[in-house]
Chains A and B, each alone.
Chain A
């Protein structure tokens, strides 16, 4: 890849990642949704996009701009479940968990280690 291709790619990443966050921010502003609800909603959007097969087109354009979002996590879950479905019923049921294994393990283990080493800081005005 030439340097300007990298530049263009990173610009697309920035754009897609930013636009997804704009959608989330508009929801927060309009509905006063808490962060847990926003995360759940966008995760479901990711699962849906993957299930109907639209996700890969956005990914081709936006790369990490969408895969790093929670939407991408949802897509990983759905994609692995779809792949698992090819192996049979058990694969269809366990596929999602298999796909999310890396992320979930990281969240749990890092969360556990950090909580043992660090403590909450009080906020300042």
Chain B
């Protein structure tokens, strides 16, 4: 059998993901994590009425990252991820999971070359693209400002 023919046969017969089920769980879990975040935000606003919107948003992010990291540390986040898929990857808690999980995985190789060096094996690309893109956006807006375009 030719390679091409075989690859076609494989792509035709390989078992497929149950679309409906995974999409439904992603929807529910993603929605629930969002509700938790909104709840945290509302509670923070009640406790610190003097804080501005930006500080509240920043504090909410920090708390959500703590929660994501904590559930990862307890060994629960991967169980959630098994069912939720994108529902637990896309929220900021999933980002925390992708930082904490390699750090925990490699702590047997020591603190410097294990934890610290491996912490960003998965989240590294996110930070690199994020910062680079923000610099690009900043420069574009700076140039627009120089040209006198109102922002």
Contact = CB atoms under 8 A, between A and B. Distances in A.
A60 interface: no
Contacts of A120: 75, 101, 104-105
A107 B23 contact: no
Contact of B130 (A47, A67, A106): A47
A43 B34 contact: no
A97 B151 contact: no
Nearest to B22: A25
B39 to A, nearest CB: 8
Contacts of B60: 64, 67-68
Interface residues of B, number: 81
Most buried by A among B17, B99, B130, B151: B130
Interface string B67-78: 001101111001
**Secondary structure at chain A's binding surface: helix, strand, loop or mixed?**
helix
Most buried by A among B30, B40, B64, B111: B30
**Secondary structure at chain B's binding surface: helix, strand, loop or mixed?**
helix
B92 A103 contact: yes
Interface residues of A, number: 83
Given A20-B90, A22-B23, A25-B86, A102 B137 contact: no
Contacts of B100: 107, 110-111, 114-115
A103 to B, nearest CB: 5
A11 to B, nearest CB: 9
A111 to B, nearest CB: 4
Contact of A73 (B31, B108, B116, B130): B130
Contacts of A77: 130-131, 133-134, 137
Nearest 9 pairs of A and B residues by beta carbon? A96-B134, A17-B34, A21-B30, A24-B86, A81-B138, A92-B138, A18-B31, A115-B103, A68-B37
Interface of A: 6, 9-10, 13-29, 35-40, 42-44, 47, 50-51, 62-74, 76-78, 80-82, 84-86, 88-89, 91-93, 95-97, 99-100, 102-108, 110-112, 114-121, 123
Interface of B: 17, 19, 22-23, 26-35, 37-42, 57-62, 64-66, 69-70, 72-75, 78, 84-87, 89-96, 98-101, 103-108, 111, 115-116, 119, 122-123, 125-127, 129-131, 133-135, 137-142, 145, 151
